[in-house]
Structure 1
Amino acid sequence: MLWRAALTAALVCAIGLLPWLSRSDPALTVLKARSAERAPTPETLRAIREQLDLDDGPFHLLAKWLGGLLHGDAGRSWVSNTDVLPAVTQALGASLLLMSGAVVVAVLTAAATCARTLYLGSRRRLGDRGPGGTGSAVLAALPEFLVASVLASVVGVQLGWLPALGWYGPRWMILPALSLGLPAGAILGRLLDDLLPGAFAEPWALAAAARGVPPASVARQALRRCAPGLLPNLGLFVVGLTGGAVAVEQIFDIPGLGRLTLRAALAQDLPVLQTGTLALVALAALAALAARLGVRRLTGPALRDGALHSLHRPAQPAPRVVPLVYGLLLTAVIAPGLPRDPLALDTTARLQAPTWTNPFGTDALGRDVLARIAHGALTTLGTALAVSAAALLTGVLLGLLPRLSRPLVDTVNAVPPVLAALLVTGITGSGPWTPALAVAVVAWSPLATHTSALLGQERATLHLTATRALGAGRWYLLWHELLPAVLPPVVRHALLRLPGIALGLAALGFLGLGAQPPSPEWGLLLAENQPYIERAPWAVLAPAAVLALLGALAVTAAGGTRLPRRRRNVARVTVRPSSPEETAPPPEPPAHSALAARAPTDSPW
């Protein structure tokens, strides 16, 4: 609790210092947020400083805000001059309602993703490996704002089946919930699909199948067996769907907490920004507590008594044909576009449909989309791989120390990505590596949570208890038992998030925190061409298809991820001739001790 309180205090203090860290005049930023047309005269700026007490410094403002918060007063907005607490409460209610719908969609999507594994596993037809299809990987690789744009334009505008703008009732929640829940459910489904084969191979599943237990009951118990490893990640998704749904809330015009926090961060409206972030931190703490209680409720005393079986099974070598095909397709897209000029303008060929000359068409400025995708792959993929490797290393190291990492994960996950980027920019300054550093700050938290969840279950397994009883030390258990069981699924998880990291890097560049137009990064391509999705859908679908192809390649290549086998040194035993005394049969026990002789020597009775 002290560690969590210290992290929350540090986060709130960092947010309070944001206007001064950004090396800009807070009064000028507030003036632009209030009225962009008003001239920033010295008299106007001086009046704003006197009104907001900016000359007293950040620590005085922070102490004043904390003092009012203790009495239920979060202050007044610097921009709208309205009470902060009612606005944040109303926005939090809208975000929680949207999050609940997105969680339902995510659970249904995860169930559909692993339905085949459940069906085959409950009937003992799974074989050595799960099916591991790539459809969920493609869905997980699609950005949320792209899914939201397609649903809003096609389902909402062209077909008119559902409303695409506003927040007035349950019907207005369907499309935003689908936009948020489908990618999140695909990731959860992949993680669950990775654990199910190990659950169906446990002795209880074999015994249930031998006794004729209905397959539905076996599948239900397998889900319960795998749920403890997923509940912490589900808690992270809950917080991410609440504060990180900025793009979806912007597209559908939803007055949620994510959009409110983004606007406050860009306008440097500290009372709103600090209160909204504090609400997200409290929500993250509650979600983590609920996930921990759920894990204890599902596993019972097995975590304490060391009575679990390991869900880890050495992965079989993945078929090399499928990832090779995806790799060749990705190369076939990138290689022909490299000789082309991604910055060449042709205003006479704006938004031109795909032709033999321009296979992917042109954008709003007449630039070749194929050339921009190919040249953007060099920087986007290279940086994404570096950030993914750093996130994987950090996540595994911190995941091995759960008491240290759990409060840190909850606090970091509560920070919206845009706010994290603004804090990083304020501390390090704007530059080409600012988006990479900002994404790396938050990208490790799901991997650390996954590592901690798997580690907790592996520590309670029977084979680890037996190995510890034989005299194995901590380092031996770590290197020979725990890491071989934890690393492969965490590496597969990291590869599954690679396309999202690539998109996050480019999206921050689009917000002015990294690369600027006309840079051909993939996220910039999606964001620049999004307004023309109805008139020129190829300009958006082409980079989205390449991004989905990257996701399919990452998941299929990770399907057989495993650690190299260690060569075990087998001690040579010298056999010597036995003496007659050693080979003689043991003497018969006396009659009165016959019962004791038949009893096992290690019987607890």
Structure 2
Amino acid sequence: MAETTVSVERPGRLKEFWFYFRENRGAVIGMWVFMALLVIALFAPLLAPHDPTQQFRQHLLQPPVWQEGGSWEFVLGTDALGRDLLSRLIQGARFSFIVGVVVVMIASTVGITIGLLAGFAPKWLDTIIMRIMDVILAFPSLLLALVMVAILGPSLLNAVIAIAIVLQPHYVRLTRASVMSERHKDYVTSAGVAGAGTLRMMFITVLPNCLAPIIVQAALSFSTAILDVAALGFLGMGAQPPTPEWGTMLAEAREFILRAWWVVTFPGLAILITVLAINLMGDGLRDALDPKLKRS
């Protein structure tokens, strides 16, 4: 009687990732909210009912549509200069997402490169690099960003550069730790015996196996960047008026908080919902990408 062997096909990496990711319901909700906000940011000029800088002088501080005195022309009301709040929030989503993407790209690229260098460098160079990173991390991130923006000058671009510099030590430490745990494994030794150069070992052999925690850190850095640029805008050191950036909108609305609650509430809610959605999604990414957290 012939023996029959049953082969169990291993699911693809994408299917396996989605299987673990969807177990976290909060992460799935965060992902859908994030995707909705991303669509709003991409199509902001088409979705915004008015120009975000256009002033309707006859509609100063007009309340939302459901409150007495509101109108469907300005669904979420207007600010102290008569600008449509909904249009400014929609355009603000674009600025927030651009800031998040640029900050993560700069911080991760520089941080990963320095972290790989530290992981493969001689001990003395590794020590120097990590002590510099420790010095940067010793300062409160927002305070350090404020000092850098004060030196460079208040603008959205300078705020992005400052936040990227402040966040990159996290990538350096994370990448170095991953490299140190990977570089003595058999596959790395085999690549070295096969004649792979140092750069090939760093970027082709080792780096792909260190990406899981870096991806999670990128998601968390995205939300941190949005929060920090909003904080800098609120303090007058980030985006400058009339740019429809959420932090700047909060700063402009401070004096009207008792007379017109909507000019403060809606930008604050936009920041809260965006950051919460990204953090929930980051938790799901951590659960799906970290093998230690996967249930057998």
- State the TM-score bracket (shorter-chain normalisation): 0.5 to 0.7
- Report deviation, 1:378: 4.1
Q: Tell me whether 1:490 sits opposite 2:201 in the alignment.
A: no
Matched AA of 1:131: F
Report the counterpart of residue 523 of structure 1 in structure 2.
247
Q: What secondary structure, in the 3-state scheme, does the structure 2 residue paired with 1:344 have? A: coil
- Report deviation, 1:370: 0.9
Distance 1:421 1:458, change over 3 A: same
**CA–CA separation in structure 1 for the residues paired with 2:87 and 2:250:** 14
Matched AA of 1:337: A
- Report deviation, 1:351: 5.9
- Report deviation, 1:393: 0.9
**CA–CA separation in structure 2 for the residues paired with 1:517 and 1:537:** 20
- Report deviation, 1:498: 1.7
Report the counterpart of residue 511 of structure 1 in structure 2.
235
Matched AA of 1:340: D
**CA–CA separation in structure 1 for the residues paired with 2:34 and 2:208:** 24
Q: Tell me whether 1:382 sits opposite 2:98 in the alignment.
A: yes
Cα deviation digits, residues 293-331 of structure 1 (max 9, x gap): xxxxxxxxxxxxxxxxxxxxxxxxxxx988655544555
- Report deviation, 1:392: 1.2
Aligned-residue identity in percent:
29
Matched AA of 2:188: L
Distance 1:531 1:136, change over 3 A: farther
**CA–CA separation in structure 2 for the residues paired with 1:137 and 1:359:** 29
- Report deviation, 1:448: 1.7
**Which among 116, 119, 128 is matched to residue 16 of structure 2?**
128
**CA–CA separation in structure 2 for the residues paired with 1:329 and 1:134:** 23
1:422-441 superposed matches below 5 A: 422-425=146-149, 427-431=151-155, 433-441=157-165
Report the counterpart of residue 55 of structure 2 in structure 1.
344
Distance 1:326 1:341, change over 3 A: closer
Matched AA of 1:502: I
**Is the contact made by 1:447 and 1:493 (CA closer than 8 Å) also made in structure 2?**
yes
**CA–CA separation in structure 1 for the residues paired with 2:46 and 2:100:** 19
**Is the contact made by 1:498 and 1:551 (CA closer than 8 Å) also made in structure 2?**
no
1:272-351 superposed matches below 5 A: 325=36, 327-328=38-39, 335-337=46-48, 339-346=50-57, 349-350=60-61
Q: Which has the higher contact order (CA 8 A, sep 6+)?
A: 2
**CA–CA separation in structure 2 for the residues paired with 1:455 and 1:529:** 47
**CA–CA separation in structure 2 for the residues paired with 1:472 and 1:370:** 56
Distance 1:462 1:540, change over 3 A: farther
Distance 1:381 1:427, change over 3 A: same
1:413-424 superposed matches below 5 A: 413-424=137-148
Query: Quick check: which has more Rg, 1 or 2?
Result: 1
Cα deviation digits, residues 329-374 of structure 1 (max 9, x gap): 5557764226334351547552613453222233455432112123
Q: Tell me whether 1:448 sits opposite 2:159 in the alignment.
A: no
Report the counterpart of residue 87 of structure 2 in structure 1.
371
**Is the contact made by 1:346 and 1:366 (CA closer than 8 Å) also made in structure 2?**
yes
Distance 1:431 1:340, change over 3 A: closer
Cα deviation digits, residues 42-61 of structure 1 (max 9, x gap): xxxxxxxxxxxxxxxxxxxx
Matched AA of 1:523: G
**CA–CA separation in structure 1 for the residues paired with 2:37 and 2:243:** 26
Matched AA of 1:437: I
**CA–CA separation in structure 1 for the residues paired with 2:221 and 2:149:** 24
TM-score normalised by length of structure 1: 0.36
**Is the contact made by 1:384 and 1:502 (CA closer than 8 Å) also made in structure 2?**
yes
Report the counterpart of residue 225 of structure 2 in structure 1.
501
1:107-118 superposed matches below 5 A: none
**Which among 129, 133, 142 is matched to residue 409 of structure 1?**
133
Report the counterpart of residue 459 of structure 1 in structure 2.
183
**CA–CA separation in structure 1 for the residues paired with 2:276 and 2:115:** 25
* Runs of 5+ unmatched residues, structure 1: 1-126, 140-319, 563-605
**CA–CA separation in structure 1 for the residues paired with 2:243 and 2:33:** 32
- Report deviation, 1:492: 4.0
Report the counterpart of residue 353 of structure 1 in structure 2.
64
**CA–CA separation in structure 2 for the residues paired with 1:321 and 1:523:** 24
- Report deviation, 1:442: 0.5
**CA–CA separation in structure 2 for the residues paired with 1:322 and 1:433:** 27
Matched AA of 1:350: L
**Which among 92, 95, 109 is matched to residue 393 of structure 1?**
109
**Is the contact made by 1:395 and 1:448 (CA closer than 8 Å) also made in structure 2?**
yes
- Report deviation, 1:537: 5.4
Q: What secondary structure, in the 3-state scheme, does the structure 2 residue paired with 1:438 have? A: helix
Q: What secondary structure, in the 3-state scheme, does the structure 1 residue paired with 2:219 have? A: helix
1:66-105 superposed matches below 5 A: none
Cα deviation digits, residues 204-236 of structure 1 (max 9, x gap): xxxxxxxxxxxxxxxxxxxxxxxxxxxxxxxxx
1:574-589 superposed matches below 5 A: none
- Report deviation, 1:513: 2.5
- Report deviation, 1:440: 2.3
Matched AA of 1:499: S
**CA–CA separation in structure 1 for the residues paired with 2:139 and 2:247:** 21
Cα deviation digits, residues 1-60 of structure 1 (max 9, x gap): xxxxxxxxxxxxxxxxxxxxxxxxxxxxxxxxxxxxxxxxxxxxxxxxxxxxxxxxxxxx
Give me the CA root mean square deviation. Answer: 4.1
TM-score normalised by length of structure 2: 0.66
- Report deviation, 1:540: 4.1
Matched AA of 1:360: L
**CA–CA separation in structure 1 for the residues paired with 2:231 and 2:28:** 20
Q: What secondary structure, in the 3-state scheme, does the structure 1 residue paired with 2:21 have? A: coil
**CA–CA separation in structure 2 for the residues paired with 1:421 and 1:345:** 36
Distance 1:433 1:357, change over 3 A: same
**CA–CA separation in structure 2 for the residues paired with 1:137 and 1:499:** 17
**CA–CA separation in structure 1 for the residues paired with 2:28 and 2:259:** 28
